[in-house]
Amino acid sequence: MSAWTDVVAVAAGAVHAARNTGRSHTVGLRSDGSVIATGWNADGQCAVSGWRGVVAVAAGWRTTVGVLADGRAVATGRAAEGQCDVSAWRDVRSVSCGDWHSVAVRVDGTVIAVGNNRRGQCEVDEWRGIISTAAGYTHTLGLRGDGHVVAAGDAPSGACGVERWRDVIQVDAGSHHSVAVTTAGRALAQGDNEFGQCEVDAWSGLVAVAAGSRHTLGLLADGTVVSTGEDSDGQCRVKSWTGIRIPI
């Protein structure tokens, strides 16, 4: 990735942990609106070299979605579940991708979703006042402008049990868990906790969170990072990280 320059945003392919997973891809958005990608490309998910005028990107397991400056969306990669059926989307402000579904927030605060819906993760048509979304393996989160969070999809894991969350400023979705940051800089987590990925109650001074398949990261205001959850591949070894900042 040494050739990557002028990158203003990145996205990592979402993938749940299973025997047939593990391969993924990475996408970068350049300041000139072009896009670059590297990694697993079996379904053409890295075929983004011709994209122009892109203002946001998201990556699923085998899919890449981009938002154009005019509010339309483009997609490439595996389309078998319908996750690339975004050509009709208009007035899109942001996108997120789960393993098998793609979600977009429109400028009017409504939400649209396409792709695998076996757990109801695409049932977002009635959501209103949404400012951002996050997509997990089989669930979707929506952050409302009033700091409340709504969810659709996976019920068995408990990842959708967010109805009591308040004063939230950012959300993210792991494969089977949901995480959030509040205005007070605290973290919230809900869902599968087999690897301790939801053990965030002691965290404070947060400005952002990120959820992997089975682990969670928190960015502190001082630029350091905390982590919890599965560490079998060293994904939680972040104690030495300093000077990390959210892109403006």
Give the pLDDT confidence of 146-186 residue by residue, as tens digits: 999 999 998 889 999 999 999 999 999 999 999 999 999 99
pLDDT tens digits, 93-122: 999 999 999 999 999 999 999 999 999 999
- With residue 58 as reference, give the H or E element that holds it: strand 54-59
Mean pLDDT across the stretch 29-52?
97
In a domain, 200, yes or no: no
Q: How far is CA 35 from CA 4, 10, 54, 116, 223, in A?
A: 10, 10, 7, 26, 27
Predicted confidence band at 243 (pLDDT cuts at 50, 70, 90)? very high
pLDDT tens digits, 197-238: 999 999 999 999 999 999 999 999 999 999 999 999 899 999
Name the domain count of the chain. 1
In a domain, 33, yes or no: yes
Predicted confidence band at 21 (pLDDT cuts at 50, 70, 90)? low
| Mean pLDDT over each residue of the chain, to the nearest integer | 95
In a domain, 220, yes or no: no
In a domain, 218, yes or no: no
Q: How far is CA 171 from CA 76, 79, 119, 205, 221, in A?
A: 25, 26, 20, 16, 17
pLDDT for 24: 87
Q: Which CATH number is 58's domain given?
A: 2.130.10.30
Residues near 109 by beta carbon (within 8 Å), at least 6 away in sequence: 128, 129, 130, 131, 145
Predicted confidence band at 3 (pLDDT cuts at 50, 70, 90)? confident
Mean pLDDT across the stretch 126-130?
98
Predicted confidence band at 247 (pLDDT cuts at 50, 70, 90)? confident
Domain, as residue range, for 66: 7-173
The C-alpha atoms of residue 33 and residue 110 are separated, in whole angstroms, by 25
Q: Does the pLDDT of residue 17 top 90, yes or no?
A: no
Q: How many CB atoms lie within 10 A of CB 160?
A: 26
180 close to 149: Cβ distance less than 8 angstroms: yes
